[in-house]
Amino acid sequence: MSCLIHLKCLSTAAMLAVVAAPAMAMTDADNACIDALRATGTPDAQGGEILSSSFSEAGTLVMMKDAGGTTWRCIAYSDGAIGELSVDQAMDDGGAMPSAAMSGPQRVQFAPGTSGTAISGSLAANSSISYVIGAKDGQFLNVDVQSRGGALDYQILNPDGSALLDFIASDQPYKGQLWQSGDHVIEVLNAGAQPVSFDIGIGID
């Protein structure tokens, strides 16, 4: 009986030691990315966790998960500036490649002080994904889709649902002036029989 008590006490002491151990120190890049995520103003962005933080000379890549389970990709520079803040389409809650057919429209957010972002994703065969971005009449929209491992097409819809740009191949970037104000939709389509990964750059001038 005394041995059981002793083991129980030892287990409790070990558990307390783990809880009391200091957490990994937050870097300036981590803090900058957290601030940028909170600045998006979405309710889920007010809480969450840092998944990883990888430093390089080009900048620090910080992966975060918000309170709603959405994974965010953030690149921070040594001066505290944010080079990218975007939803990472390549990750779901289990860390696997999701099917775009199972994903709803993704709201595009720019980091404070920037006018563009880059997003990585993956599309299952015969599926599409849509990105929604608010813009004003007279502004210029820039879209550049780079596919990896297959062909993709994309189209751009005006806020009223009419076509600003009919489907074209992803190897053709787009830059054009907008003539409506409101949410524009960029739909990326994989009409092939194999999954295709891609990067999409979206900017407003």
Segment 113-144, tens digit of pLDDT: 888 999 988 888 888 888 999 999 999 999 99
CATH number of 97-205: 2.60.120.380
Contact by Cβ (8 Å): 50, 64: yes
**What was the pLDDT predicted at 163?**
92
Q: Where are the domains of the chain?
A: 23-88, 97-205
Summarised one tens digit per residue, pLDDT across range 40-54 is: 767 777 777 888 877
Distance CA 145, CA 158 (A): 19
DSSP β-bridge partners for residue 196: 123
Given a contact cutoff of 8 angstroms between Cβ atoms, the answer to whether 136 and 172 are in contact is: no
Angle at 140 between CA 139 and CA 145, to 5 degrees: 145
User: Of 6-10, 26-30, 68-72, 132-136, which gets the smallest average pLDDT?
Assistant: 6-10
Q: Is the confidence at residue 63, as pLDDT, over 90?
A: no
- In the structure encoding, which two tokens stand for residue 26, read together? 């937050």
